[in-house]
Structure 1
Amino acid sequence: MNPYSSSLNHPILKKSFEIIDQEMGDHNLNSLEYAIARRVIHATADFEFANLLRFSPDAIKNGMDGLGSQIPIVTDVTMVKQGITTLVNKTFNNPLISAIEQVSDALPGKTRTETGILKCFEQYPEAIYVIGNAPTALLALCQKIADLTIKPSLIIGVPVGFVSVVESKKILAKTNVSQIRVEGRKGGSPVASAIINALLILAYEK
């Protein structure tokens, strides 16, 4: 079944996907990777993401299995949480936690999002972590899990910007954890939300 044939999708969304399919051209993505890339392109109108997305082995499977098992989803910021709440509620009702909402003050030398991510990891070490805004949170998470046996089921690491963004993604790439990331400076909360929403639909229609 086409992962976007679900009743969850609006006709305008289907039409948008048809246009993307027509304009996409050649690519090296498999069908599941393309389903994710297509939703990211829809969210950004940027076809370059088809060449920037990176998927570790079993990342999509682990993400789908985790979502279907109703494991928690931890986002770095509220915007990502808001971007996925509707589909989470229509599919598996996973616990949905925004890291920045878990703390009122940052630890010394850390950002609030970084502090929140570390707090969430203590409570939900095997959650799916979705980082679309804060490279400091991605760095902190990667450093925390580097020598641990228990790791997140999946990390979606797609922060956007100019400071520590590329560095955080390079560290994620070297971390032994299932991951979906975007190379370079591009990314952002809409991209992070699009990736999780695509995984939710893939898992729901599995």
Structure 2
Amino acid sequence: MTQLNHPILEKSFAIIDAEVGEHHLSSQEYAIARRVIHTTADFDYLNLLQFSSNAIASGINALRQRTPIITDVTMIKQGIITLVSKTFQNPIIAAVEQASIADSGKTRTETGLLRTYSQYPQGVYLIGNAPTALLALCDQVAESPIKPALIIGATVGFVSVVESKQALAALDVPQIRVQGRKGGSPVAAAILNALLVLAWDHDQSSR
């Protein structure tokens, strides 16, 4: 069986477990939060992460079916490619790489995201950098009969960040959000990597 977690990572998890103690999250939600805490050293994520009722199950199912994974920026793609290659080998597409020039009035990431969504509306979406991309995605999802398997909304910063997450929260779509201004590419990658481990463990235990 492929060992996905390095022994040093498991040691870090044990330290996090000891510091967290009792918590309100389910075992799967905590597995995701713990990996984000490991990445950020920020225990606020125990409360900042928000999960829709079917988000984790939908994400696990999509990953096991090798559903394409769409990231807003290349950094997230690089942050998940190792575990993806060790597990289900899903296609990974960085939206920003799909647009060498931005459409008028849009950012490159937003432009690439819109192009990618037209091809993969059912994909797993990780938005950890560009609020314009998350807002554009939310607009498309609201109008489309086909919904993404999962949206991870972890935009970071000050301009349109909270608004982009509020737009996601208003949608009836499987989602994992980071409340407030915190987030970023490492956080989005950590959430997806934790889901990959959960999906892989599920796959191995069912054999």
Q: Please report the TM-score for the alignment, with normalisation by the length of structure 1.
A: 0.96
Deviation for aligned residue 1:25: 2.8
The Cα RMSD (Å) is 1.0
CA contact (8 A) 1:67 1:200 kept: yes
User: In the alignment, what sits opposite 2:191?
Assistant: 195
Mapping 1:1-206, distance limit 5 Å:
7-206=3-202
TM-score (norm 2): 0.96
> Is the 1:6–1:205 Cα contact (8 Å) retained in structure 2?
no
Q: Distance in 2 between matches of 1:181 and 1:17?
A: 22
Distance 1:28 1:6, change over 3 A: farther
Provide the rounded CA distance (Å) in 2 between the counterparts of 1:21 and 1:27: 10
Matching residue of 2:205: none
Deviation at 1:51, TM superposition (A): 0.3
Structure 1 residue ranges without an equivalent (≥5)? none
Instruction: Could you tell me which runs of 5 or more consecutive residues in structure 2 were left unpaired when the two chains were aligned.
Output: 203-207
Displacement of 1:26: 2.8
Distance 2:167 2:91 in 1: 27
Deviation at 1:6, TM superposition (A): 6.4
What do residues 59-115 of structure 1 show as CA deviations (whole Å, max 9, x unaligned)? Answer: 000000000000000000000000000000000000000000011011111100001
Contact 1:58 1:178 in 2 (8 A): yes
Percentage of pairs with the same residue = 65
Q: Report SS of the residue matched to 2:50.
A: strand
- The change in CA–CA distance for 1:116 and 1:71 in structure 2 (over 3 A counts) is same
Counterparts of 1:93 and 1:154, CA distance in 2: 17
Q: Which moved more, 1:143-152 or 1:83-92?
A: 143-152
- For residues 60 and 21 of structure 1, the distance between their equivalents in structure 2, rounded to whole angstroms, comes to 21
